[in-house]
Chain A
Amino acid sequence: MKKALNAIGNYFKNIGIAFVRGDVWVKLSAVLMGAGYFARKQVINGIIMFLVEALFVVLCAGYAAPNLAKFGTLGTVQFEQVFDPLTMTSTVNDYDNSFLILLNSIMALFLILVFVLFWIANMKAVYRLQVQKENGEHINTFKEDVQALFNEKFHITLLTLPAIGIILMNILPILVLVAVAFTNYDQQHMPPSALFTWVGWSNFKNLFTDSVTVTFGYSFKKVLAWTLEWAVLATFTTYIGGILLAKFINNKKTKLPKMWRTLFIIAIAVPQFVTLLLVRNFFADSGIVNTFCTSIGLTDFLKNVGLVPANLSYIPFLTNPGWAKVMIVIINIWVGIPYQMLIATGVLMNIPEDQIESARIDGANPFQIFVKITMPYMLFVTGPSLITDFVKNINNFNVIYLLTQDVYVTSDQLLANSNAKEIDLLVTWLFRLTNEYYNYKMASVIGIIVFIICAAFTLVTFTRTIKGDKEEEFQ
């Protein structure tokens, strides 16, 4: 922490030094970015800097300024279409598109930030040139500067392209998401035909309100509780199951371990959406499993025990809240165990054999060995990935959506009012809110909440990943 503050402090100190000790050319560079280079006979660098500055000014005037001017209101001119019966054409007025204003403003702010950093870097570079000249050191020609990009500055060359991609696909969307959470962007406020605007924290308040008209609070509590339950169940069942299966197959008494392992892997090698959609029909209300259960009398038995409502002639595997939740967890075990088995197999093979051997000589039984030696070792190696798995399960969209979409209908009116279902995770709820109900404002709020939950858990892993970084070990 202190180190980081120091680094920031130094960063600004260096600009100050450049300003105070720089000669007239350096000072002129603050306004005309190429100036310092011209003075040191780096003409091409100077021209490039000058062009960058000119481009920025043009972008500011033509793009950033008009958008940022409307950023406070997100647009005021309503979309209007006038039909002219004489020419049989309709004309559209010069309307404001709130979303475009929002998006462009964020990009414009980004542009300005990048330019400021660029400007600071330029000031420092120009000052460095001055110092070099004063000390009579060699000043790079343009050719040498370009060559440096493939040598000591190769990291800049390599990282530029990936960074642009990441900024566009990862950072920008997150910023937009956060911004939308503070607007009233929903089905009644859809650009281009309608405007939306800032509403402050009211969406967040909505999410925690539980009243007759707004049931988001009620749904949020239910969905959040099930999301966490699900994540814990899904993570632990597959983790333990995977270890047990791996141990079972790795046991010396098992013949052909490779063949067994491959059989289980085939089940996950088939794309998930194929298997999950298939399994969903396998367990449909009038599906093949139900036919089977009826014919062997299981359905009647479950009815008698009270596990299946008396008015049904089938087992509601994926249509009754309780059954669906259990089934989803079971089907997820089916999906998840082979993955965990793969990992566990790799780890188990590395358990120091002598430890187990000496424990055996001391008279430990297999169960004791498993609890006292195998598990601690497994947890030590796979602990971080366990938390990653937990976070992945919080966001396990595929299993829930593919198994229940179009099949599961909620009977809870309060949940239905806020477009949620009993079996929804926060992500599937978010997806339905956007994809079917165009309720972007609430979806964004939920997105932020999920992010906070995930971030809290990942920070724990994160410190370990960094600490456990063995990058220098082999070098």
Chain B
Amino acid sequence: MKKTIQAILRHVVLLLLAVVWLIPILWLFVTSFSGYKGINTSHFFPETWTLDNYAQLFLRADSIVQYNKWFMNTFVIAVFTCVISTILVLMVSYTMSKLRFPGRKSLMSFSIILNMFPGVLSMIAIYFILKTFNLTNSHIGMIIVYSAGAGLGFLICKGFMDTISVSLSEAARLEGASEAKIFFKIIIPLSKPIIVYTVISSFLIPWGDFVFAKLMLNSGIATDWTVAIGLFNMLSKSMIAKYFSVFCAGGVVISVPISILFLIMQKFYVEGITGGSVKG
């Protein structure tokens, strides 16, 4: 008897916690169907239900809401970012993991320290450097910001490559394969899981980034923005009364693909943090 009560209690506590964690998400979801455009401050659930917010998002672009454009912008930036970043990360992690050359250890230490320098701090300088080359307010500039330094984030991928047995490449070398061939024909095919991780995690950066986009895309022209900037702008003081439920609809639309990708890569996330000491 005591055991059943305990078991019920345990699940009630969990349920309460889950409710706390999901309330904002639920609010986001239901408000996106609200017939009232501003914030409903007296009721949690909308009084009238409609799909109009989604229609406005996709079909009725105005000077403030350019959702299709934002989505495309972010998507293009994300695709290029993930391709470039993945290539750079693979190049560095293979070099650090499988090749032996003088200065490798110190180069690795140096890049780990450098990677700890928070990007937010040097963003003013990055901004001015890109401005000098006329790359602010351009998507090329954003792609450069997100992907150029990607080579520093090689640790997780290198950790994975370290687990690929060296005997495979030894054998290939004896057969006369060049290092380049070993890289392309042996290591890359064996690294598929970590490539998936790298692709997804770098694809997600432009969707979640707010700071750099805000700094770089400052022209005030809505069609240039990414989703994050566009949605943020909808909640500024003068807009919020007219656009809050539209913001929620926009939030729901990008959250769906992002959440799915996030759920796929979360198991690698743990590996990365604990430095591969977890094999579960």
Contact = CB atoms under 8 A, between A and B. Distances in A.
Interface of A: 4, 99-100, 103, 147, 150-152, 154-155, 157-159, 161-163, 165-166, 168-174, 176-177, 180, 245, 248-249, 251, 253-255, 260, 262-275, 277-279, 281-282, 284, 286-288, 290-291, 334, 338, 342-343, 345-347, 349-350, 381-382, 384-385, 388, 391, 395, 397-398, 401-402, 406, 427, 430-431, 434-435, 440, 443-444, 447, 450-451, 454-455, 458, 462, 465-466, 468, 470-471, 473-475
Interface in B225-280: 228, 231-232, 235-237, 240, 244, 247-248, 251, 254-255, 258-259, 262-263, 266, 269-271, 273-280
Given A267-B21, A462-B112, A253 B121 contact: no
Contacts of A158: 91-92, 94-95, 99, 183
B122 interface: yes
B266 A281 contact: no
Contact of B270 (A103, A346, A402): A346
A444 B150 CA distance: 24
Given A171-B114, A281-B244, A397-B120, A166 B148 contact: yes
B192 interface: no
Nearest to A405: B232
B179 A152 contact: yes
B126 A447 contact: no
A435 B123 CA distance: 11
11 contacts: A154-B178, A155-B101, A174-B122, A269-B255, A270-B28, A346-B274, A381-B278, A398-B211, A427-B121, A471-B97, A473-B162
Most interface-central of A152, A264, A273, A455 (chain B CB within 10 A): A273
A171 B125 CA distance: 10
B180 A154 contact: yes
B59 interface: no
Indicate the size class of the contact surface on chain B: 35 or more
Contacts of B158: 471
Contacts of A176: 122, 125, 128-129
A210 B123 CA distance: 28
A99 B128 contact: yes
Contacts of A406: 236-237
Given A176-B128, A270-B251, A273-B208, A288 B42 contact: yes
A447 B121 CA distance: 5
Contacts of B166: 475
A169 B144 contact: yes
A262 B210 contact: no
A454 B228 contact: no
Contacts of A384: 275
Contact of B95 (A159, A343, A450, A473): A159
B17 interface: yes
Given A4-B106, A151-B180, A462-B116, 4 more contacts: A154-B183, A180-B125, A277-B235, A455-B116
Nearest to A270: B255
Contacts of A152: 179
Most interface-central of A161, A290, A440 (chain B CB within 10 A): A161
Interface stretch (B5-13, B47-55, B63-71, B194-202): B5-13
Nearest to B182: A154
Contacts, number: 287
B117 A161 contact: no
Contact of B41 (A150, A288, A430): A288
Nearest to A249: B14
A168 B129 CA distance: 9
Most interface-central of A262, A267, A388, A401 (chain B CB within 10 A): A267
B171 interface: no
B145 interface: yes
B179 A342 contact: no
B40 to A, nearest CB: 7
Given A177-B124, A350-B278, A462 B113 contact: yes
Contacts of B41: 284, 286-288, 290-291
Interface in B78-104: 88, 91-92, 94-95, 97, 99, 101, 104
B193 interface: no
Given A265-B263, A270-B28, A381-B274, A170 B149 contact: yes
Contacts of A155: 95, 99, 101, 104
A435 to B, nearest CB: 7
A345 B273 CA distance: 12
B117 A451 contact: yes
Interface string B138-181: 00000011011111100000110011111000000000001110
A124 to B, nearest CB: 13
Contacts of B148: 165-166, 168-169
A468 B97 CA distance: 15
Contacts of B94: 158
A427 B118 CA distance: 10
A447 B251 contact: no
